[in-house]
Structure 1
Amino acid sequence: MKVGFIGLGNVGGKLGGSLLRNGFDVTVFDQKVDLVTDFIRRGAKGGTSAAELMCACDVVITCLPSPAASAAVVEEMLPEVTQGKIWLEMSTTNDEEIRRLATLVGAQGGAAVDCPVSGGCHRADTGNISIFAGCDRATFDRVLPLLKTLGRRVLHTGPAGSASILKVITNYLATANLVSICEALVTAKAAGMDLNTAYEAIRISSGTSFVHETESQVILNGSRDISFTMDLVSKDIGLFQGIADRTGVPLEVSPLLNEIFRDGQDRYGPRELSPNIIRRLEDATGLTVRAPGFPPEMLDEEPEEPGYEVVPTGTTRPVAAR
């Protein structure tokens, strides 16, 4: 299988690296020539356009920063889509837009997979990230070997668009957790608590979460480097709010989160690291939230293992289909 990969940024570069590391025939393209050059040095082929990749490859993966960027790339590739070609979208995007583009790809004889990832850049780097896949079952079975290399846990979510809905739901929950963690850590500091002790108290209690066990560490280190920025958070939670608006769900927390991150971008810039949303509270209180012994960035210490499909089983915990 020849794989094209378009978009070698924070997440895409790591996902593409997993394919190279596992022996796939990979051709890459990115507007940043230095990123392409690095992949060529590591064994990939370099492409000069999205259309060229679709012409030369069986599957073309996109991992891009916005729905508009994805749409532009797909429209460029469309004339080269033929029977059996697959477009696999790993960006976080709009579910209505992914359905529109999937229809265009299908009309050309190809197939589209709505395929966002979740779990952080550190897990994307080791092939241990989780993957949602929205497409028909036959297409899912065709790309499952590829997805098992790119990620650890792979969930078939239904038709195109379903994976993108679930992705923005999970990102909304992560954002709500991040903001509440920032409030908890600043309040602990104001109350005179030792922040190492506060971190452990949260970690071993009902207050813990994936976000706490990752982002709290880089917050307390001071780097705040989780390889994700405020503009991307705003995009994702804005997409979630859009789903709620069009389905008539009267949310209360979501509008506040959107306003908090709009304010964060106004204060610190759209490309500020997302955990630095805590600066709003640090600035308001004059407190500095730091503690010794925490890492500047997250590393995935789990060994790379073959992925597997996660199969929902109703009220019981999902089981793995090996």
Structure 2
Amino acid sequence: MTSQQTIGFIGFGAMASRMADNLKKAGYGAIAYTPSGKGGDGSTSFLPTAADVASKADIVLVCVPDDDSLAAAMYGPKGTLAGMKADQLLLNTSSVSPEAADALFNAAQDRHIAVIDCPVSGSTPEAEAGNLVVLAGGDDAILARAKPIFDAIGKTTIHAGPAGSGARLKLVINGIMGAGLAAVAETIAYGLAAGLNRSMLFDALDEVAVISPHHKRKIRAAKSGDFSPQFPTRLMQKDMRLLLDAAARLAVPVPTLAATTQQLSLTRRAAEDADYSALIGVMEKIVANDA
């Protein structure tokens, strides 16, 4: 058990709320702020501003969807940093650009606030089970302070390197995830167009070693037409866009990732809030219309 420290959540969506459940089981209290001002589950109090949450929490955990949301929640007189004290711990679990992560680190340093960029690998099932992989960038001593929180929400913490490294590693991982799904979707479309039995095809892909457990889970869901959001298309497409920009800044050629981003842009137009595996359904519909 902990000494009843309070975690202040900035953002309380599908991932953060599940993290909060596991932290409460570990003995932490939780308060939260959301831009909508809505929320409250009986055991989590919602406060009117991010600064209010930061001023009343022992540790602040940020989980927002993109760079713009991070900036809105962190800066300004009602922002998180305005409410924090020197040496307070700020954990940024958001999947944002390396530039946004670096900017937050520098702004926090100016206020003597201890910050770690620590996006997580895993979707809502892993968040619910406390089996996330935490991708942490920051100083060893600060990571040691955060270890009890990371242990409560995840199965493994990877120290990716200095500040900003967690954000960069997250883009690597999500790029592989997105490109892998695009390959699955395109090859399923070929198999269906070529006349393979649909049930046989989906079941066969669940058996072979070349497909990751994550993508097998997506294939099983797609077989039944279930694209309920574990990782919404709009967020995956955003991460691919961030990766393309980050690679271009370093003159790294990523044509496969560029093509994948276009596929996910198409899927976002068709099913923004569905799981990103809806790309499988989009491709299936294309070949079905040719039948």
Asked if TM exceeds 0.5, the reply is yes
Contact 1:4 1:28 in 2 (8 A): yes
Could you tell me which residue of structure 2 aligns to residue 273 of structure 1? Answer: 275
- Alignment of 1:89 with 2:75, yes or no, is no
Instruction: Give 1:32 shift.
Output: 4.1
Q: TM-score, normalised by structure 2?
A: 0.91
CA distance in 2, matches of 1:31, 1:158: 31
Structure 2: segments with no counterpart, 5+ residues: none
Contact 2:37 2:48 in 1 (8 A): no
Instruction: Give 1:97 shift.
Output: 1.3
The 5 A counterparts of 1:40-51 are 41=42, 43-51=43-51
Instruction: Give 1:58 shift.
Output: 1.8
- Alignment of 1:193 with 2:196, yes or no, is yes
Percent same amino acid at aligned positions? 24
Match of 2:21 among 1, 17, 24: 17
Contact 1:225 1:273 in 2 (8 A): yes
Could you tell me which residue of structure 1 aligns to residue 231 of structure 2? Answer: 228
Match of 1:244 among 224, 237, 247: 247
Contact 1:218 1:226 in 2 (8 A): no
CA distance in 2, matches of 1:226, 1:86: 31
How many pairs were matched up?
283
Could you tell me which residue of structure 2 aligns to residue 301 of structure 1? Answer: none
| Counterpart code for 2:206 | R
Select between 176-185 and 275-284 the one with higher mean Cα deviation.
Answer: 275-284
Q: TM-score, normalised by structure 1?
A: 0.82
- Alignment of 1:27 with 2:31, yes or no, is yes
Structure 1: segments with no counterpart, 5+ residues: 289-322
Contact 1:83 1:108 in 2 (8 A): yes
Could you tell me which residue of structure 2 aligns to residue 183 of structure 1? Answer: 186
Select between 4-13 and 136-145 the one with higher mean Cα deviation.
Answer: 4-13
Instruction: Give 1:187 shift.
Output: 2.6
- Encode CA deviations 1:211-260: one digit per residue, 9 max, x unaligned: 32211111111111242222211110011111110111122111111222
Contact 2:271 2:278 in 1 (8 A): no
Could you tell me which residue of structure 2 aligns to residue 215 of structure 1? Answer: 218
Could you tell me which residue of structure 2 aligns to residue 111 of structure 1? Answer: 114
Contact 1:15 1:127 in 2 (8 A): yes
| Counterpart code for 1:201 | A
CA distance in 1, matches of 2:273, 2:6: 34
RMSD (Å), alpha carbons:
1.9
CA distance in 2, matches of 1:254, 1:141: 35
| Counterpart code for 1:102 | F
CA distance in 2, matches of 1:44, 1:245: 42
CA distance in 1, matches of 2:73, 2:20: 17
CA distance in 2, matches of 1:44, 1:205: 43
CA distance in 1, matches of 2:179, 2:245: 16
